[in-house]
Structure 1
């Protein structure tokens, strides 16, 4: 019996994240790009729309926080679940945590490392712990389009040569964070 368990684990390890998500029951639209296998113990409660992008190490939780309560209140059957829904053309960054009951709308961007504890409306960008609204996706698109470097599809060698030849002002630069000095 133990050998079958080991073989099953090896099989899961060999699956691509896309194959694994389908195998465990994640409902998935067309054209998704999945790069995580962290769908929790009830992956069949997770649905992804068309064109969804899930980056590495993103994790989905359909339940949680109940084990201690079960023990403390001697209530072994206590359970709470929440379905997770991700809308069409939404991007979930690396290392994000998506909590139970969250719905993320269409065309959203969730910044890497965010902890999503509340549902997000269509067309919003969020980031942080907990995730907070930081902008609208359509405004972000316009900024990116205005500064497009047009290097998508180049060979790695050509892209490196091209990017290293550009003047510094062609690259994005982030504002300095506000720090109150004592």
Structure 2
């Protein structure tokens, strides 16, 4: 790759490199609420059609799509066809690594999207979804109760230790059961 190609690549990605995901989406016209962690910059070609509520985490590799690109194949005497749809993500939502949110999807409040999910339909409040295509696999409020009763709290972590020591002190050493 020549020097000019490298310079063009840096210029094309400069905004992505220098802005956090939430600032980047806002700079493209998207809407992002308070206290969000947006760890992706893959917002498709119509980012202004995306709105994200408060207390949302969008992890790395997540893609949020706002159009149906397959319409490129559909043409007649009136020309090519286009389909654009908004994506709305509510409050208190976690979207796992490498998930894909399809056009026209509304994700309501208190939702967890499992890693690698392909969300093709809207997700009701209080759901945990996963898979391809994503299906409801659990209840957010059941998970919340389990986490409160079984997982270590921020106040119970030994902050005098460095990160690795702190985690090694509390890591659950058990493994999940085998698939059948």
User: TM-score category by the smaller chain?
Assistant: 0.7 to 0.9
1:174 paired residue number: 176
Equivalent residue for 1:22, pick from 9, 20, 26? 26
Unaligned runs of 5+ in 1: none
Unaligned runs of 5+ in 2: 1-6
Equivalent residue for 1:68, pick from 48, 51, 73? 73
Q: Is the 1:53–1:91 Cα contact (8 Å) retained in structure 2?
A: yes
Spell out, residue by residue over 1:8-63, the C-alpha distance to the aligned partner (whole angstroms, 9 max, x if none).
54234322222211101111111111000000001111111111110001001111
TM-score, reference length from structure 1? 0.82
2:92 paired residue number: 89
Q: More strand per residue: 1 or 2?
A: 2
| Counterparts of 1:162 and 1:4, CA distance in 2 | 43
Aligned-partner SS, 1:95: coil
TM-score, reference length from structure 2? 0.83
| Counterparts of 1:150 and 1:5, CA distance in 2 | 43
Structure 1 stretches of at least 4 aligned residues deviating more than 6 Å after TM superposition: 3-6
Aligned-partner SS, 1:66: helix
**Residue correspondences, number:** 172
2:60 paired residue number: 56
